[in-house]
Amino acid sequence: MGKNANVFLASAELAAIASKLGHIPTLAEYHQAMGVVNADGAAIYKYLNFNQIEEYVENAKGVTA
């Protein structure tokens, strides 16, 4: 990263908001953007429900623990 580089550890949500804005958001900007994320949370985070993804369920049927 180079000498005197600044590195920030952030959640995926914060990283997405920062990439959209082009800078690390203020607290107000973050809360405003998270309002949109939270309002659409069911659609945004649906990918985490692997049991609802048909392809995953089909592939998992033949796997034993």
Query: What value does the CA radius of gyration of the chain take, rounded to a whole number of Å?
Result: 18
Q: What is the mean pLDDT of residues 41-60?
A: 76
When pLDDT is averaged across residues 42-62 and rounded to a whole number, the result is 77
Q: What average pLDDT is seen over the chain?
A: 85
Domain ranges in the chain are: 12-60
pLDDT at 18: 95
Note the pLDDT tens digit of each residue in 5-15.
988 899 988 99
What pLDDT, on the 0 to 100 scale, is given for residue 65? 64
Q: Which residues 6+ apart lie within 8 Å of 50 measured at CB?
A: 56, 57, 60
What is the mean predicted confidence (pLDDT) over 35-56? 76
